[in-house]
């Protein structure tokens, strides 16, 4: 067994590998860019080696420097994690040549499966179901249109070396095929250095279901059940679960056996994933094989009780698998939510910056455990006060729960999301909460088009309605009373005789967009010490009374307690938003900003005029923090609606800004290469 391994990655996956290595008594070496010098994975490792500047092409993608770090520290093996060099055939081969064990498949397996065209041919030879399509590289866009028409729309245009949603488009007509081919080719060339494109039939109403396989160097291969990964946005997974709520035992067995056959055909060693697209009648077709550990591997770990990173390390060290197919468990139900630094209310634009507050929900399951226990697990590479840099992907953490069944897992996940506190950057937690509450998701009736279908016009606050909005208002009153009583107690200590009397009557002013506020009277009943506080709200539907017992300490961002005897977890924030008097309440993805007022003050507040924000319609603003890589216009230029104005790069994705109306450019306010902040002006129109 190895005594020291190097993790050629960053973030949560580097921390994940370190956890297992520590459990196995193996020393670890971290590598880092300048942007990650204080990162969590650097702090956790036994040693750390600097690679270079923040851009990955100048740090994490430098194979020579990683090999050099192994030699410098005496690391006997490299775990590549996922992304970066994890599926780089040349890197795996180089490690072998240098006498460094690659904790992953052999270079020949990566080569065979990393090329989507070659892998499809191999799958056919191994008698694995494949999708009809054109499997040779396509020379140009016109040829792509001709091929697409021959296959029949819709078609999927894919980069041979693509992954992570890059180099992939779905086309429903000639125009989309022409544009999609060019876009895929550009993305693939920039991201992977390989612009070969192929086309295949797009299976309508498809589900994305993948089989986890594990092989050793002695010819043994098993499958570890499946993962349902159909909840995707722009071909990137959002929620994953195991097992799938859709497929039958017979389909599971057939898919698993085909995945094993394909793995054996390429003499696969280590953990890998065979991805399938599954039609509405459970007909399934091979998509690709990911020759690495998947982001969503924890859901498989929780239903099988296996530590996949440990298995990878043992296989790389030459050990045989200690179990066979009949020994693989499938217990309970696991769900994973990817918590990303992005703003769902601004079309999921990246959100970078400092984590002013980062408090994950309490966990009782941990990385590196080999268990099928029930509970909550958090995989993350960040810490409270840490930085979310713009150079890498947007994932902050993975939140994983394991329940007795699917309904139990959904309930556990919703409660865990309620307790996940992130301040300083925006996150997709409200969107995750909306997905988990959607009736179609709860029933298991969805496919890969679920998000595009139900959130076709983006995600809005009204897409995550609360089943009891008055409860949020009652919580706002309770928090207001907490701070008022604290102030009253302090005042009584210093100015005897001036202590405030308890107030019973309030008005909750819920702050709406554009000054559209609503006002609800609230009455607080007399409460005996140690008993729940009774708060009655005069809602339009009639009075609602809430018996609230809240465990709250000064400075808490997350609170728990009971409402009418039922437990809950919520988030409370004082002075949130643009109003310093506002109280923010967040529960089940819904956010309420409110001011709790004296009834007379509320009447005066209704008379306050609304101050509209300045008119910025003549400006093109940066919708996110990022690097301005192109300004496509110049002063005096006439621009038509829909024309490209600028391109911003953030978190490995290019975002193109277009003119919303015809106009003439008055001035360019930002220069190419400049780091932009949110809402910074880029171009001004006359």
Which residues are marked as active site? 288
Contact of 39 with 381, CB cutoff 8 Å = yes
What does the buried/exposed string (b/e) look like for 502-515 if buried means 16 or more CB atoms within 10 Å of the residue's CB? eeeebbbbbbeeee
| Residues forming beta bridges with residue 211, ordered by sequence position | 226, 274
For 508-520, the DSSP string reads EEE--GGG--EEE
Residue 684's CB: how many other CB atoms inside 10 A? 16
Nearest to 418 by CA among 485, 351, 337, 495: 337
Choose among 35, 25, 19, 130: nearest CA to 393: 35
Distance CA 547, CA 44 (A): 44
**What is the CB-side half-sphere exposure of residue 120 using CA atoms within 13 A?**
19
**DSSP structural state of residue 34:** G
SS3 271: strand
Residue-wise DSSP of 364-386: S--TT------EEEEEES--TT-
Structure tokens at 661: 């109306």
How is 45-88 classified by DSSP, letter by letter? Answer: SSEEEEEESSSGGGTTT-HHHHHHHHHHHT--EEE--SSTTTT-
Give the torsion sign (CA, 415, 418, 421, 427).
positive
What is the rounded distance in angstroms from the CA atom of residue 646 to the CA atom of residue 633? 8
Written as six digits, the tokens of 540 are: 């339009």
Which residue stretches of 152-243 are H helix? 174-192
CA–CA separation, 406 vs 404, rounded Å? 7
Q: Among 61, 46, 32, which residue's Cα sits nearest to residue 389? A: 32
Q: 3-state DSSP call for residue 478?
A: helix
Q: Are 444 and 245 a contacting pair, CB within 8 Å?
A: yes
Residue with tokens 């923010």: 584
Helix or strand (DSSP H, E) at 273 = strand 270-278
SS (H, E, C) 107-125: HHHHHHHHCHHHHHHHHHH
Q: Which two tokens stand for residue 418?
A: 């309620």
> What does the alpha-carbon distance between residue 282 and residue 547 come to, in Å, rounded to a whole number?
49
Distance CA 156, CA 167 (A): 10
Q: Is-contact 584 577, C-beta < 8 A?
A: yes
Rounded Cα distance, 58 and 405, in Å: 46
CB of 450 closer than 8 Å to CB of 208: no
Tell me if residue 361 falls in helix, strand or coil: coil
CA separation for the pair 509, 277 (Å, rounded): 49
Place of tokens 């539907």: 541
Q: In whole angstroms, what separates CA 460 from the centre of its chain? A: 18
State the Cα–Cα distance between residues 101 and 76, nearest whole angstrom: 6
Segment (H or E) for 593? strand 590-597
- Selection from 137, 223, 226, 141 nearest residue 179 by Cα: 141
């Amino acid at each position: 067994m190895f005594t020291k391994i190097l993790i050629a990655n960053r973030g949560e996956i580097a921390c994940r590998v370190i956890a297992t290595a520590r459990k196995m008594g193996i020393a670890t070496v971290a590598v880092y860019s300048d942007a990650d010098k204080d990162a969590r994975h650097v702090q956790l490792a036994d040693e750390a080696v600097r690679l270079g500047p923040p851009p990955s092409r100048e740090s994490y993608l430098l194979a020579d420097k990683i090999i050099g770090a192994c030699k410098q520290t005496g690391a006997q093996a490299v775990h590549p994690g996922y992304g970066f060099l994890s599926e780089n055939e040349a890197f795996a081969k180089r490690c072998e040549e240098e006498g460094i064990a690659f904790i992953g498949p052999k270079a020949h397996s990566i080569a065979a499966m990393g090329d989507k065209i070659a892998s499809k041919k191999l799958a056919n030879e191994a008698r694995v179901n494949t999708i009809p399509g054109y499997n040779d590289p396509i020379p140009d866009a016109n040829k792509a249109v001709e091929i697409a028409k021959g296959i029949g729309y819709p078609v999927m245009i894919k980069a041979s070396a693509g992954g992570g949603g890059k180099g992939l488009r779905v086309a429903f007509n000639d125009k989309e095929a022409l544009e999609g081919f060019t876009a895929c080719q550009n993305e693939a060339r920039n991201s992977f250095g390989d612009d070969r494109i192929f086309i295949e039939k797009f299976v309508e109403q498809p589900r994305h279901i993948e089989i986890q396989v594990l092989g050793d160097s002695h010819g043994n291969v098993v499958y570890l059940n499946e993962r349902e990964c159909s909840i995707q946005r722009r071909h990137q997974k959002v929620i994953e679960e195991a097992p799938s709520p859709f497929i039958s035992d017979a389909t599971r067995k057939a898919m698993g056996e085909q995945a094993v056959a394909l793995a054996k055909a390429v003499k696969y060693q280590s953990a890998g994933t065979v991805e399938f697209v599954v039609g509405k009648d459970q007909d399934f077709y091979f998509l690709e094989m990911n020759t690495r550990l998947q982001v969503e591997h924890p859901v498989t770990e929780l239903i099988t009780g296996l530590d996949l990173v440990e298995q990878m390390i043992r296989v790389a060290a030459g050990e045989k698998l200690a179990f066979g197919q009949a020994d693989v468990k499938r217990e309970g139900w696991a769900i994973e939510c990817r918590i990303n630094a992005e703003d769902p209310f601004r079309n999921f634009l990246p959100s970078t910056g400092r984590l002013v507050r980062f408090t994950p929900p309490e966990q009782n399951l941990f990385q590196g455990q080999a268990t099928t226990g029930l509970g909550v697990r958090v995989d993350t590479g960040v810490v409270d006060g840490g930085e979310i840099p713009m150079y890498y992907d947007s994932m902050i953490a993975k939140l994983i729960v394991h329940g007795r069944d699917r309904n139990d897992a959904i309930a556990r996940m919703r409660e865990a999301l309620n307790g996940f506190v992130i301040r300083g950057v925006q996150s997709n937690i409200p969107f995750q909460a909306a997905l988990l509450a959607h009736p179609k998701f709860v029933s298991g009736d969805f496919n890969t088009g679920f998000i595009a279908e139900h959130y076709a016009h983006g995600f809005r606050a009204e897409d995550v309605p609360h089943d009891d909005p008055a409860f949020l208002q009652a919580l706002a009153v309770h928090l207001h009373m907490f701070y008022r009583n604290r102030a009253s107690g302090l005042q009584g200590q210093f100015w005897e005789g001036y202590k405030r009397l308890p107030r019973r009557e309030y008005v909750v002013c819920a702050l709406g967009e554009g000054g559209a506020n609503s006002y609800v009277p609230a009455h607080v009943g007399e409460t005996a010490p140690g008993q729940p506080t009774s708060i009655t709200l005069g809602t339009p539907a009639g009075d609602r009374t809430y018996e609230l017992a809240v465990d709250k300490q000064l400075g808490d961002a997350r609170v728990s307690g009971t409402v009418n005897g039922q437990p809950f977890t919520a988030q409370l924030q004082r002075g949130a938003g643009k109003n310093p008097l506002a109280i923010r309440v967040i529960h089940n993805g819904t956010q309420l900003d409110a001011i709790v007022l004296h009834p007379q003050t509320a009447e005066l507040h209704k008379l306050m005029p609304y101050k509209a924000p300045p008119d910025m319609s003549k400006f093109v603003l940066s919708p996110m923090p990022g690097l301005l890589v192109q300004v496509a216009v110049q002063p005096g230029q006439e621009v038509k609606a829909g024309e490209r104005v600028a391109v911003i790069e953030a978190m490995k994705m290019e975002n193109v800004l277009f003119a919303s109306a015809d106009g003439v450019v008055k001035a360019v306010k930002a220069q190419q290469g400049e780091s932009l902040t949110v809402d910074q002006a880029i171009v001004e129109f006359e």
